[in-house]
Structure 1
Amino acid sequence: MTTAQAMLLLPIGQFCGVSGPPDDPATRYPIRVADRMIDVDAGLFTVWAQAHGVPAEETWTSAELTALLTDGLLARVEPDDAIGFAHRHRLEPLVMGLGADGDRFVLGLPGTPLVSVSGPMFAVWAAAPAEPDLWSVCLRLAAETSAEPATLLPGLLDGLRPLLTAGAAYLDRVSR
């Protein structure tokens, strides 16, 4: 994590639609994590959704963060457990590669580009479906580049946010 090895807070899971009108307090927001569905209310869903990007201000409470962390819908990535996080999580791409634009690679749907990423992050995105977890992605890319896997991991983790914000991929917990 290049930003002085700072802690990261990352959303986990894939949103699976909404079960009712947004203004109805009984409406639930199902999020799939590995092989289970977790239903959350509008308040927790909003915090989970905000965790995909960089909100202008923190609008969540400590109780909401704790609930999402406890349910496995958020992951706190501490610098000293980055490799452990990478063993426990995988990246699931949701869109297609649309080609290169200079030294960047565009991801999205035909006619709808969503995000452009660096060459190394495109390699992560492309390798992720074939590997069981993020650490295995690092091992694969290290073998291709003669780099040490642990030196690739901070860049991988720092590069996740644009993919998550754009909805180009989601993080999931490894089922073992």
Structure 2
Amino acid sequence: MTTLMFPIGHCLGTYYASATDSHVQQVRLGGEIVGLTDEEFAVWSLAHGLADDRSRWDRNRIVELLAGSEIPDSIDQLLARHLLAEVDLDSLADFAARHRLLPLHLGLGNTPEITAVFRSGTTEFPLAGMTRTLYDLWLSGHLSPNLLVACKAHDAELSAVLASLHALLAPSAACLDLATEEQP
């Protein structure tokens, strides 16, 4: 069985209730705001991938990167809280039906010099590049109730989208969130 690990939710930053209180790292998961400890947040953040690391992003890769650090492995706790998803590549449709892709960067389009690569980032600094199909999905996939519907609408192969997703998650060009209800 081949699997990939994906973070679910949108990072909202650190929250202090008052100047003397401890803090949590907030992640929006659907319509709920969830608090994570710094250690849980480190594992959740690591599940996004690392820039320029094209390794298969699975549980083993995350555990390998945590080895030797002071950060405890909280993968199972985050999976139970639906903040991580372990996806079997042989059954992608179930995952895609339960999640959707949300764009987080500005869309920058392509350039006359490199017409095949579409970029996202800030107006001064492109941070992610993608194919036209993935770019179209990234731009408007959030209008679909889930990733499965979005891939069908954009003629995007689900396995190819998931295989390239960490390239969008690592620089925070996108996040995965819970699916919304399909409208009749």
Q: TM-score when scaled to structure 2?
A: 0.79
Say whether the 8 Å CA contact 1:52–1:164 is kept in structure 2. Answer: yes
Say whether the 8 Å CA contact 1:25–1:41 is kept in structure 2. Answer: no
2:49 paired with 1:53 = yes
RMSD of aligned C-alpha atoms? 2.1
Distance 1:158 1:91, change over 3 A: same
Q: Residue deviations 1:96-135, cap 9 Å, x none? A: 2112141111101211211111222112212312211100
Q: Residue deviations 1:61-119, cap 9 Å, x none? A: 55x00110011100011123200100000000011211214111110121121111122
* Whole-angstrom distance in 2 between the partners of 1:84 and 1:36: 22
Say whether the 8 Å CA contact 1:13–1:171 is kept in structure 2. Answer: yes
Matching residue's letter, 2:31: D
Deviation at residue 174 of structure 1 after TM alignment: 1.3
* Whole-angstrom distance in 2 between the partners of 1:162 and 1:41: 25
Report what 1:173 is aligned to. Answer: 178
* Structure 1 unaligned blocks of 5 or more: 143-148
* Whole-angstrom distance in 2 between the partners of 1:127 and 1:14: 17
* Whole-angstrom distance in 1 between the partners of 2:161 and 2:89: 13
2:21 paired with 1:11 = no
* Whole-angstrom distance in 2 between the partners of 1:108 and 1:40: 27
Report what 1:145 is aligned to. Answer: none
Matching residue's letter, 1:139: K
2:164 paired with 1:164 = no
Pick one of 85, 95, 105 that aligns with 1:85: 95
Q: Which runs of 4+ in 1 moved over 4 A?
A: none
When structure 1 is superposed on structure 2, of 95-104 and 164-173 the one drifting more is: 95-104
Aligned-residue sequence identity (percent) comes to 30
Say whether the 8 Å CA contact 1:35–1:175 is kept in structure 2. Answer: no
Query: Counterparts in 2 of 1:128-167, with a 5 A limit?
Result: 128-142=141-155, 152-167=157-172
Query: Counterparts in 2 of 1:68-107, with a 5 A limit?
Result: 68-101=78-111, 102=114, 103-107=116-120
Q: Residue deviations 1:9-32, cap 9 Å, x none? A: 000001111024xxx993211111
Q: Which has the higher helix share?
A: 1
